Structure 1
Amino acid sequence: MLLVTGFALVVGGLGSVAAFLLLKLIGLVSNLVFFQRWSTGMVAPGAAHQPWWLVLFAPVAGGLVIGLMARYGSEKIRGHGMPEAIEAILTGGSKVAPRVAVLKPVSAAISIGTGGPFGAEGPIIMTGGAIGSILAQLLRLSADERKALLVSGAAAGMAATFNSPLAAVLLAVELLLFEWRPRSFVPVVAAVAVATVGRGYLLGTAAVFPVPTAGLHVSTAAQALCVVAGAVGGLLAVAATWLVYRAEDAFAKLPFHWMWWPAIGGLVIGVGGLFEPRALGVGYDVIDQLLTGRATTSLIIGILVVKTLIWSLSLGSGTSGGVLAPVFMIGGALGAAEGLVLPQVVPGFWAMTGLAAVVGGVMRSPLTGVVFTMELTHAWGAGPSLLISSTTAYALSALVLKRSVLTEKIARRGLHLTREYSTDPLETFFVEEVMDPWPAAGPDEPPRLSVRTDDTLRQAAYLLAEHRVTEAAVLAHDGGDRPVGLLRLTHLLHARLHDLTEEHHRQRLLPRPAPVPAPGGRQPVRL
């Protein structure tokens, strides 16, 4: 753990530099395409009047370039980055090709810089993950250690992009690590800490979208309405997720190579930009207006409709770009629209609840949605309200959709992914609780393997798997060599059966109250 943590410190520093360079590259492409000037400052394509032909065809040109890069460079640059990182962890031994570390940020900068309605976080997750993976591949490390460094790089890039260290760690736990162990958690935190410090030097330490919260007091009625806001956000998350994959299905039916699909997605973006130019690009300025209560009604409605449509439909084309920033904008617009009719709390309060709700529903990561919103705005007092809305949206999304926008894509590639963590039932039973007594005459063929009575079933299962046997002699825990029991493979099912019974077997544990005698000799009434 300590060795990997030391390497993670290096990864964290590199992740912050990668995030800085990616943001500058996005700014450079945006300025060149829409303002014909050499500058790396972040600009909004729709902040100034642009010729209609530029708005319409710039995303198409960007899509053509991305299609060529994906076909002749690496197909791994397609998509929004998180499913690709998850797939590398699940099936690729946490190995990422070095060229992905270069092609992914460049393709994302082209996509966003030419008007794509995406965010920088997905590409930086893949880029930071690639940095961690490449370093791990240069060293003599196990697959689990490579995973720790890959996720450390991904989380470091996220923390440096949004100045959100807590949310980056939660994102790693909820979406990428698939475990909660010191061996992976400690390196991730170390990398995120270094990346956050590095971000302070490179991009500053202020909140990305500061929201004034003076006088914030959420009444009981407003807290209850957060459930409504969460439910509406969950419905929007379900609709957006459904649109992404219906679009992907539609593109898959086209009779020509997928290399051309991002250009068609770019045409969708361009048409949407003609109706609402502010929906183009990463949109940090629009998110800021929504969260601070300065957005006009026309902007709120335009973003809510146009951004949702062009993001969902173009993402299905396989172009390159992240999902978080668009989800921030869509959720913020939804909450701002709700704020037009809900009781006033503070400017931007309902936009924050909408943002947390849509993140919780789309990403299926409710805690990340809450903490992300608080770190982006520094509105710490809104935490309980955000938790209500995010969890409500998460619950609704889990009830309606089988998989999230991340896991559906992975499932379509033939992989199974669970997002539910629980204690391994094999870890809760000892060998002595399930073993058979040692036969008086001994077995016909004594087992080659032995375990101890105080070993957990999980330890025993690992030993059986390692030695490729189906039974083991059980020795006393005091260190004696005389067998006291026999453990067979079928005994391991005892823990699984116990877990299954606890989940599905329902029973009444307290007796019903005794019947109360009815007055006048009538039949007793059972309560």
Structure 2
Amino acid sequence: MGRWALFSLTIGIVAGLGALFLQWGIDLVNQLTLVGIAGFSAPGLPTEGGTLGQTYLPSYRWWIFLLVPTLGGLVSGWIVYTWAPEAEGHGTDAMIRAFHREGGYIRARVPIVKIVASAVTLGTGGSGGREGPIAQIGSGFGAWLARALRVSDYERRIMVLAGAAGGIGAIFRAPLGGALIACELLYRNMELEHEAVIPALLTSVVAYTVYGHFSGWAPMFKTSGFTYGHPQSLLIYLVLGVVVAGLGWCYVRVFYGMRDHVFARLPIPRHLRPAVGGLLTGLVGLVAPQAISLGYGWLQIGMLGRLTLADYLKGVVG
């Protein structure tokens, strides 16, 4: 156990720093491009230094707004396909594939490439989240340490999960959630990699501590102080859960359908395909700005009850 405590401490420190560099990179690119050049400032989380204010600045120019995510996709595609093609996509699939099919092996360059490419993609308005990239970044650091220490294949796979847990737990400020999701997203059914739970939890706590030291300890989202007092409201949440599960199922099918049957078949070099995606994202963003970049600020506005039905529909469709 003492050996794994040392492993978890080391992976947690590096994963926490990786989460910081990813967040700082996204913020830097966003300020330089979307805000500084295009004049578009999406709502951000107040707990992360953002504001829930206006989206379009006085300097807003729609044609540059289209150009920024397009160029971001072009740069990101060049970085990934030149230096680490396995870093393409959102990152979660690559982590799962490394765990199940590749013995936990991830090249040392992958987390660095993923940090840079994800910062460019998300910072220039690419529609996505931080969970996929940080899962691959954290797992890559875990695999790197495992290779340096020459541990067994079994231990390397556990360290990969611990790294993913650390990254997720840190960047979302939810160490317990990060540990559990890293151990359960490996399987389609209701299963859990139970032998990795303790190392993943230790790593996640350490990574969260490192991340929180630099970025603060407040939860990502602020709530309006809801108090549960009516058992019959469980029926409403049951219906909501079914609806959201259905939307999630549809989203996954559309996402992979577009990736496998549309973008994968485009008759252009693959490093240019992210630029096409960036252009399409910009076009959608002209109508539904909720689709641009991370979207966590819009989610916070919704939690405070300030979104209209039209805003929700734009968010779902976009």
Task: Tell me the TM-score normalised to structure 1 length.
Answer: 0.54
Aligned with 2:268: secondary structure? coil
What is the CA–CA distance in structure 2 between the aligned matches of 1:43 and 1:113, rounded to whole Å? 16
Deviation of 1:234 after TM superposition, in Å, equals 2.1
Residue 106 of structure 1, aligned match among 78, 101, 116 = 116
Tell me: CA distance 1:216–1:241, structure 2 relative to 1, closer, same or farther (3 Å).
same
2:247 alignment partner in structure 1: 236
Deviation of 1:63 after TM superposition, in Å, equals 1.1
Deviation of 1:254 after TM superposition, in Å, equals 2.0
Aligned with 2:144: secondary structure? helix
Aligned with 2:262: secondary structure? helix
1:299 alignment partner in structure 2: 311
Tell me: CA distance 1:43–1:27, structure 2 relative to 1, closer, same or farther (3 Å).
farther
- Name which one, 1 or 2, has greater alpha-carbon Rg: 1
Deviation of 1:155 after TM superposition, in Å, equals 0.6
AA paired with 1:66? S
Deviations 1:447-478 (A, max 9, x none): xxxxxxxxxxxxxxxxxxxxxxxxxxxxxxxx
Alignment of 1:452-467 (within 5 A): none
Residue 296 of structure 2, aligned match among 260, 284, 287 = 284
Deviations 1:412-461 (A, max 9, x none): xxxxxxxxxxxxxxxxxxxxxxxxxxxxxxxxxxxxxxxxxxxxxxxxxx
Alignment of 1:105-144 (within 5 A): 105-144=115-154
Deviations 1:206-226 (A, max 9, x none): 111121224432341x21122
1:5 alignment partner in structure 2: 5
Deviation of 1:56 after TM superposition, in Å, equals 1.1
Tell me if structure 2 keeps the 8 A contact 1:137–1:146.
yes
Residue 168 of structure 1, aligned match among 161, 178, 191 = 178
Provide structure 1 residue ranges, at least 5 long, that are not aligned to the other structure: 307-527
Deviation of 1:71 after TM superposition, in Å, equals 2.0
Alignment of 1:29-40 (within 5 A): 29-36=29-36
Tell me: CA distance 1:79–1:290, structure 2 relative to 1, closer, same or farther (3 Å).
same
Deviation of 1:61 after TM superposition, in Å, equals 0.6
Tell me: CA distance 1:210–1:113, structure 2 relative to 1, closer, same or farther (3 Å).
same
AA paired with 1:191? T
Tell me if structure 2 keeps the 8 A contact 1:46–1:277.
no
What is the CA–CA distance in structure 1 between the aligned matches of 2:84 and 2:160, rounded to whole Å? 19
Tell me: CA distance 1:179–1:140, structure 2 relative to 1, closer, same or farther (3 Å).
farther
Tell me: CA distance 1:218–1:206, structure 2 relative to 1, closer, same or farther (3 Å).
farther
What is the CA–CA distance in structure 2 between the aligned matches of 1:64 and 1:54, rounded to whole Å? 15
Residue 201 of structure 1, aligned match among 213, 219, 227 = 213
**Percent of residue pairs identical:** 31
AA paired with 1:206? A
AA paired with 2:139? G
What is the CA–CA distance in structure 2 between the aligned matches of 1:274 and 1:158, rounded to whole Å? 31
Deviation of 1:15 after TM superposition, in Å, equals 1.1
2:258 alignment partner in structure 1: 247
1:75 alignment partner in structure 2: 85
Alignment of 1:18-417 (within 5 A): 18-36=18-36, 47-49=55-57, 50-176=60-186, 180-182=193-195, 184-220=196-232, 222-248=233-259, 249-306=261-318
Aligned with 1:47: secondary structure? coil
AA paired with 1:95? Y
What is the CA–CA distance in structure 1 between the aligned matches of 2:14 and 2:149, rounded to whole Å? 17
Tell me: CA distance 1:62–1:151, structure 2 relative to 1, closer, same or farther (3 Å).
same
Tell me if structure 1 keeps the 8 A contact 2:73–2:121.
yes
AA paired with 1:128? G
Tell me if structure 1 keeps the 8 A contact 2:224–2:303.
no
AA paired with 2:181? L
Alignment of 1:496-511 (within 5 A): none
Tell me if structure 2 keeps the 8 A contact 1:59–1:267.
yes
Tell me if structure 2 keeps the 8 A contact 1:27–1:43.
no
Tell me: CA distance 1:275–1:180, structure 2 relative to 1, closer, same or farther (3 Å).
closer
Provide structure 2 residue ranges, at least 5 long, that are not aligned to the other structure: 38-47
Deviations 1:314-349 (A, max 9, x none): xxxxxxxxxxxxxxxxxxxxxxxxxxxxxxxxxxxx
What is the CA–CA distance in structure 1 between the aligned matches of 2:227 and 2:55, rounded to whole Å? 32
Q: Alpha carbon RMSD of aligned pairs, Å? A: 2.2
Mean alpha-carbon deviation: is it higher for 126-135 or for 69-78?
69-78
What is the CA–CA distance in structure 2 between the aligned matches of 1:46 and 1:274, rounded to whole Å? 15
What is the CA–CA distance in structure 2 between the aligned matches of 1:109 and 1:120, rounded to whole Å? 9
Tell me: CA distance 1:244–1:208, structure 2 relative to 1, closer, same or farther (3 Å).
same
Mean alpha-carbon deviation: is it higher for 250-259 or for 9-18?
250-259
AA paired with 1:217? G
What is the CA–CA distance in structure 2 between the aligned matches of 1:297 and 1:188, rounded to whole Å? 40
Task: Tell me the TM-score normalised to structure 2 length.
Answer: 0.88
Deviation of 1:31 after TM superposition, in Å, equals 0.3
Deviations 1:363-414 (A, max 9, x none): xxxxxxxxxxxxxxxxxxxxxxxxxxxxxxxxxxxxxxxxxxxxxxxxxxxx
Tell me: CA distance 1:185–1:228, structure 2 relative to 1, closer, same or farther (3 Å).
closer
Which structure features the higher share of helix residues? Answer: 2
